[in-house]
C-alpha cells in the first residue's frame, strides 16, 4: 500500500512539475527565513542564561514621574539604604562601563581592554571563577586591577600565578594585578576584560541624584519581588522626595508632579530577561520589536507557501477526481485517502526542510556579517522548532485538500460532474484573497518603511558636521584640560585646519551625563543632560540660536557661571525663549547657580529616532568636567582633507601621543551610524518583500495556469463564435483582478494599524502617507494582470479542433 502511495505521489509530482517546484521553493525559502530569524532570537535570549543565580539578580531602573519613562541608572544610596533596611536583599553591586575600550601599557606594549570600574564585591556578586590570585579581595583598593585570563595572556604572555603583582599602566597611573578571572560562560553583556575599584564611590553615600551607575540587587531565594519594589519605593519617597520637597517648601505630591528631579519609583528586571525586557535602555538592550516583526514576517512567508500548497492542490482536484472515484468504488476508505494525501504533502515539506537546512548553512556567513554576530547551527532548538514548523505546515496545508478530496462522491466524479461543484471555487478564492492580502500588506509596509528612513536621513539635523573629525585621547590625562588646550593651540597651527573645539557629548554618541536642574523661583525641577563644551562649539557646528547670545570668551562670566540651553529644555520647564533669558537655574552637579544667556534651536546629538532631550551647556573649565575631557574636534579645509589628515596624524603620533596610533572619526559618518539599525531594517524588509511577492506571484501563476487550462473548451467556443483576443484575455483575468482589489482593501486597515504602531517608536516620523496604499493597489493589480495574462494570452492560441471535435 505504502509503495503504491509513493508511486502515485511521484507520478503527480512529475505531472504537475511547476506546482511541485513552486511548493518546494516557497517552503524552502520560508523555512530558511524562519531558521535564520530564530537563530537571532535564540542568541539574544541566551544572554545571562548561564548565570546560576539568574533568578535572584535584578537590574535596577528608575522613573522620574508620571510623564517620564525609565532609565537604566542607579544611585549609590538607593542601593545602600534598601540593603540595610530590607532583609530579603542579600547583596547589591554597582559598576560602570562608560570607559569603553581603553589602552593599557605594559613595557612597550599598548593593549586595548574593555574596562569596568565597580564596587569591591563585583566578583563575589557574580560568582566569577578565579584563575589566579584572591579574586574575592582583588578590588580591595583603588591601586589594584583584575584581568580576564584572555587579556592577561595578551598583556603578559601567560595568565597564571606569576602575573599576580605585575603592574600595568592606565590613565597615567600604575595598577597592580591582584586577580585573574575566567570570563563568564555563555553570552553576557557584563563582560569586562579589566576591572578596577571605582574611585568615585567614596563620599557619594548621600548623592541621591547621581544616576551614573548600573545597579543590581541580589535577593534571597523565594523573595517576593513586588513587595521589595514597594518597600524600596517607600525608602526613595522618604529619603529623596520628602526631603527635597521640604527643602523647596512644597508638598511631596507637587514635587513629583513638577518633574521630581530624581527617581520616585524603580523597576526591577531579572538579569536573564533584561536584554529583551528592560524598561529603559538596559545594558545593550535588544531591539525586541524588530525581532518580533521579523519573526512574524518569516512565519507569514511560510503561511504563504502553505496557502500556495492548498490552492494548487484544490485546483488540481479535477485531475484526481476520477482516481478518487475509482478507488472509493473498489473499497478505499476516507481515512486511507486522507493519509495518502497527507503523505504526499509530507514528502514535499520534508524535502523543503532538508533544502532549507542546506540553504541556511550557505547563507549563515552573510547573515552573520550583516548582523555583526557569530551565530551557528549548533543549537538543537533550531532543528526542533523548524521541524515542528515543518510538521505544522504539513498538517495545515495537507489536511484541508485531503479532507476536500476525500469527500468526493464516487457517483458524481465517475459521471464527470465534479466540475459543477462550487465548494472548491469558494475555498480557492478565499485562500487566494488571503494570499494577495498578505502581499498587499508587505508592499505597503515596505513603502512606508522606505519613506520613514528617507525622511530621517534627509531631516535637518540642526548642525553641520561637514569635514569635522573627533580625535579621542588614547588615555586619560592627569590634567586633561591642559592637554586639550595645548592640542587646540598646536593643531590650529597645522595648515588646512579651520577650527578646533571640544564637547563632552560628542555628536553621534548621545548623552554623556544627566542630572536634575532646578528653577529655584518656580520651585520646579527637570532632568536634563549636561554638556561641557568649548566656547566656540556652537559656531564650529553652525548651530542656530533662537534667542539670546553665544558664549563670548572676552566675558569672564561666560567661563564661570553662564549657560546656554536648547528648545527642549524650555519645553520641559514650560518657558518661552524670552522668559528663559537671564533666569538662574541650579543644576544638581554643582553648588552654584547658572544664568541662562542663550537658547539654541534643537539639534540631534544621538539619533533622529530619539526626541531631542533637554540640554544645559556650559564652559568645560567651569567645574569638575574639566578633568573629564577626552577628545578634541577639528574642522578641516574641504579642499585638502587628506593632506590635512596626514599632517595631523604626523603631529599626533610624534608629539601629542607618541607610541599610540592616530585614531579619528568623521562626525557626519559617526552620526550616520545611528541610521544603521533602520537601514538594516529597510534591507531586511526589502528582501522579505521580494520573497513574499515572488512566492505569491509564482503561486498565482501556477493557480491561474491550472484554472485557465480547465476553461480551454470555453475559450475554444468563444473563439468559434467570434470573440477577439482582448475579450478572451479580459474574461479570463477579471476574476483574479477583482480578488486582488478586494485583498488590497482588506489589507488597508491592517497595514495602517501595524505601521502606525511601528512609527510610534520614532520621535520624528512621517505622517501616515496615502501613496503607499494607492501604489500597492495599482502595483498588485498590474502584477496580477501581468501574471495571469501570460497564461490567458496562451489560451487564445488554443487549437479549436482539439477541444471541439466531440461537440
Question: pLDDT for 339-377, tens place per residue?
Answer: 777 887 888 889 999 999 999 999 999 888 888 888 888
Task: Report which of 402, 393, 281, 389 is spatially closest to residue 341, judged by C-alpha positions.
Answer: 402
- Identify the top-confidence range among 161-175, 491-505, 691-705: 491-505
Model confidence pLDDT, tens digit, residues 203-255? 777 777 677 789 999 999 888 999 999 998 888 877 777 777 777 777 777 76
Nearest to 3 by CA among 371, 343, 357: 343
More confident residue, 84 or 209: 84
Tell me which residue of 736, 659, 747 sits closest to 703, measured CA to CA: 736
pLDDT higher for 403 or 605? 605
Residue 519 has pLDDT above 60, yes or no: yes
- What's the confidence (pLDDT) of residue 742? 92
Cβ atoms < 10 Å from Cβ of 638: 11
More confident residue, 479 or 83: 83
CB 495 within 8 A of CB 622: no
Q: Is 385 within 8 Å of 38 (Cβ atoms)? A: yes
Whether 452 has a pLDDT exceeding 80, the answer reads yes
Q: Say whether pLDDT at 113 is over 80.
A: yes
Give the residue from 579, 572, 623 showing the smallest Cα distance to 261.
572
Q: How far apart are CA 60 and CA 65, in angstroms?
A: 16
Write down the pLDDT at residue 354.
93
pTM: 0.74
Over residues 727-753, the mean pLDDT reads: 88
Q: Say if residue 462's pLDDT is above 90.
A: no
Strands (E), 99-221: 101-106, 109-118, 129-133, 144-148, 167-170, 173-182, 194-197, 214-219
Helix (H, G, I), strand (E, B) or coil at 272: coil
Please tell me the predicted confidence (pLDDT) of residue 5.
62
Burial class (CB in 10 A: 0-12, 13-18, 19+), 771: exposed
Top pLDDT among 713 and 804 is at: 713
Most confident region among 259-268, 280-289, 561-570 by mean pLDDT: 561-570
The better pLDDT of the pair 102, 563 is held by 563
Instruction: Give the contacts of 161 (CB within 8 A, at least 6 positions apart).
Output: 132, 133
Taking only the tens place, the pLDDT of each residue in 533-567 is 999 999 999 999 999 999 998 888 888 889 999 99
CA–CA separation, 288 vs 295, rounded Å? 11
Confidence (pLDDT) at 490: 93
Which of 436, 433, 427 has its CA nearest to residue 400?
427
Inter-residue contact 674 to 609 (CB < 8 Å): yes
Q: Where are the beta strands (DSSP E) in 395-480?
A: 468-472
pLDDT value at 378 more than 50: yes
* Cα separations in angstroms, 66 against 160, 262, 525, 612: 53, 12, 14, 19
* Max intra-chain CA distance, the chain: 107
Q: What is the pLDDT of residue 301?
A: 82
Angle at 384 between CA 383 and CA 389, to 5 degrees: 95
Band of residue 420 on the pLDDT scale cut at 50, 70, 90: very low
What is the model's pLDDT at position 636?
93
The grid coordinates listed for 541 are: 557646528
Q: Given the C-alpha cell 553570552, which residue does it identify?
A: 187
Residue 488 clears pLDDT 90, i.e. is over it: yes
More confident residue, 473 or 144: 144
pLDDT of residue 286 exceeding 60, the answer is: yes
Identify the pLDDT of residue 316: 62
Q: Output the average pLDDT for the chain.
A: 82
- Sheet containing 497-501: which strands, arranged edge to edge? 497-501, 631-636, 468-472, 665-666
Q: How confident is the model at residue 201 (pLDDT cuts 50, 70, 90)?
A: confident
Report the pLDDT value the prediction gives residue 800, as an integer from 0 to 100: 64
Q: pLDDT band at 195, cuts 50/70/90? A: very high
Per mean pLDDT, which range of 328-342, 393-407, 616-630 is the poorest? 328-342
Residue 558: closest CA among 533, 585, 590, 529: 533
Express each pLDDT in 307-325 by its tens digit: 877 777 766 655 565 566 6
Cell 603583582 locates to 165
pLDDT at 476: 59
State what percent of residues in the chain have pLDDT above 90.
Answer: 23
C-alpha cell at 202: 567614596
Distance CA 94, CA 598 (A): 37
- Cα-Cα-Cα-Cα torsion 85, 87, 91, 92, nearest 10 degrees, comes to -40
CA distance 715 to 697: 24
**Is 262 a residue whose pLDDT tops 60?**
no
Amino acid at each position: 500500500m505504502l509503495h503504491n502511495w509513493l508511486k502515485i505521489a511521484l507520478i503527480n509530482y512529475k505531472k504537475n512539475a511547476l506546482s511541485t517546484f513552486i511548493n518546494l521553493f516557497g517552503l524552502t525559502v520560508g523555512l530558511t527565513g524562519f531558521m535564520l530569524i530564530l537563530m537571532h532570537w535564540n542568541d539574544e535570549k541566551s544572554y545571562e542564561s548561564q548565570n546560576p543565580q539568574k533568578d535572584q539578580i535584578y537590574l535596577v531602573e528608575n522613573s522620574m514621574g508620571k510623564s517620564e519613562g525609565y532609565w537604566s541608572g542607579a544611585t549609590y544610596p538607593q542601593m545602600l539604604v534598601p540593603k540595610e533596611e530590607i532583609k530579603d536583599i542579600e547583596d547589591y553591586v554597582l559598576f560602570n562601563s562608560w570607559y569603553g575600550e581603553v589602552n593599557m601599557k605594559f613595557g612597550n606594549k599598548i593593549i586595548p581592554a574593555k574596562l569596568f570600574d565597580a564596587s569591591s564585591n563585583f566578583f563575589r556578586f557574580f560568582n566569577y571563577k578565579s584563575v589566579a590570585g584572591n579574586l574575592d579581595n582583588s578590588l580591595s583598593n583603588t591601586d589594584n586591577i583584575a584581568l580576564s585570563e584572555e587579556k592577561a595572556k595578551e598583556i603578559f604572555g601567560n595568565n597564571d600565578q606569576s602575573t599576580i603583582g605585575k603592574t600595568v599602566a592606565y590613565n597615567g597611573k600604575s595598577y597592580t594585578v591582584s586577580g585573574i578571572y575566567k570570563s563568564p560562560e555563555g553570552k553576557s553583556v557584563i563582560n569586562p576584560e579589566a576591572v578596577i575599584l571605582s574611585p568615585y564611590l567614596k563620599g557619594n553615600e548621600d548623592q541621591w541624584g547621581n544616576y551614573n551607575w548600573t545597579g543590581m540587587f541580589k535577593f534571597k531565594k523565594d523573595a517576593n519581588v513586588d513587595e521589595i519594589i514597594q518597600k524600596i519605593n517607600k525608602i526613595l519617597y522618604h529619603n529623596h522626595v520628602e526631603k527635597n520637597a521640604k527643602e523647596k517648601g512644597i508638598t511631596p505630591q507637587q514635587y513629583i508632579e513638577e518633574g521630581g528631579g530624581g527617581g520616585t519609583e524603580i523597576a526591577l528586571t531579572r538579569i536573564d530577561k533584561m536584554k529583551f525586557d528592560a524598561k529603559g535602555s538596559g545594558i545593550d538592550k535588544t531591539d525586541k520589536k524588530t525581532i518580533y516583526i521579523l519573526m512574524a514576517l518569516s512565519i507569514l512567508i511560510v503561511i504563504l507557501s502553505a496557502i500556495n500548497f492548498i490552492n494548487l492542490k484544490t485546483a488540481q482536484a479535477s485531475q484526481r477526481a476520477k482516481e478518487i472515484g475509482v478507488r472509493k468504488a473498489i473499497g478505499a476508505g476516507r481515512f486511507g485517502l486522507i493519509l495518502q494525501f497527507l503523505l504526499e504533502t509530507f514528502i514535499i515539506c520534508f524535502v523543503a526542510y532538508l533544502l532549507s537546512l542546506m540553504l541556511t548553512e550557505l547563507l549563515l556567513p552573510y547573515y552573520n556579517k550583516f548582523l555583526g554576530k557569530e551565530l551557528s547551527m549548533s543549537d538543537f532548538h533550531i532543528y526542533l522548532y523548524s521541524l515542528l514548523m515543518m510538521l505544522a505546515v504539513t498538517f495545515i496545508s495537507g489536511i484541508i485538500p485531503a479532507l476536500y478530496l476525500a469527500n468526493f462522491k464516487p457517483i458524481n466524479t465517475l459521471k464527470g460532474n465534479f466540475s459543477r461543484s462550487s465548494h472548491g471555487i469558494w475555498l480557492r478564492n478565499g485562500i487566494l484573497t488571503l494570499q494577495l492580502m498578505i502581499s498587499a500588506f508587505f508592499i505597503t509596509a515596505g513603502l512606508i518603511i522606505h519613506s520613514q528612513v528617507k525622511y530621517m536621513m534627509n531631516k535637518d539635523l540642526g548642525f553641520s558636521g561637514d569635514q569635522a573629525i573627533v580625535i579621542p585621547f588614547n588615555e586619560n590625562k592627569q590634567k586633561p584640560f591642559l592637554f586639550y588646550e595645548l592640542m587646540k593651540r598646536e593643531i590650529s597651527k597645522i595648515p588646512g585646519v579651520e577650527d578646533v573645539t571640544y564637547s563632552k557629548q560628542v555628536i553621534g554618541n548621545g548623552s554623556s551625563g544627566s542630572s536634575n536642574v532646578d528653577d529655584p523661583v518656580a520651585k520646579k525641577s527637570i532632568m536634563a543632560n549636561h554638556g561641557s563644551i568649548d566656547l566656540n562649539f556652537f559656531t564650529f557646528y553652525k548651530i542656530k540660536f533662537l534667542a539670546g547670545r553665544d558664549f563670548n570668551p572676552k566675558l569672564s562670566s561666560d567661563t564661570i557661571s553662564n549657560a546656554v540651553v536648547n528648545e527642549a529644555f524650555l519645553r520641559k520647564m514650560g518657558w518661552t525663549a524670552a522668559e528663559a533669558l537671564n533666569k538662574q537655574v541650579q543644576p544638581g552637579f554643582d553648588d552654584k547657580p547658572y544664568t541662562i544667556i542663550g537658547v539654541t534651536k534643537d539639534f540631534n546629538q544621538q539619533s533622529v529616532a530619539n526626541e531631542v532631550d533637554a540640554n544645559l551647556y556650559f564652559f568645560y573649565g567651569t567645574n569638575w568636567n574639566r578633568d573629564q575631557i577626552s577628545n578634541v574636534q577639528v574642522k578641516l579645509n574641504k579642499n585638502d582633507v587628506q593632506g590635512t589628515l596626514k599632517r595631523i596624524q604626523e603631529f599626533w603620533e610624534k608629539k601629542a601621543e607618541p607610541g599610540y596610533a592616530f585614531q579619528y572619526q568623521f562626525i557626519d559618518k559617526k552620526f550616520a551610524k545611528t541610521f544603521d539599525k533602520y537601514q538594516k531594517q529597510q534591507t531586511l524588509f526589502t528582501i522579505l518583500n521580494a520573497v513574499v511577492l515572488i512566492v505569491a506571484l509564482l503561486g498565482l501563476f501556477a493557480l491561474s495556469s491550472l484554472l485557465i487550462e480547465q476553461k480551454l473548451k470555453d475559450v475554444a467556443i468563444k473563439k468559434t463564435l467570434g470573440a477577439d483576443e482582448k475579450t478572451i484575455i479580459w474574461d479570463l483575468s477579471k476574476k483574479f483582478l477583482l480578488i486582488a482589489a478586494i485583498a488590497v482593501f482588506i489589507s488597508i486597515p491592517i497595514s495602517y494599524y501595524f505601521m502606525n504602531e511601528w512609527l510610534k517608536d520614532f520621535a520624528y516620523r512621517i505622517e501616515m502617507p496615502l501613496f503607499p496604499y494607492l501604489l500597492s493597489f495599482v502595483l498588485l493589480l498590474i502584477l496580477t494582470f501581468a501574471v495571469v495574462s501570460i497564461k490567458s494570452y496562451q489560451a487564445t492560441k488554443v487549437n479549436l479542433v482539439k477541444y471541439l471535435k466531440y461537440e
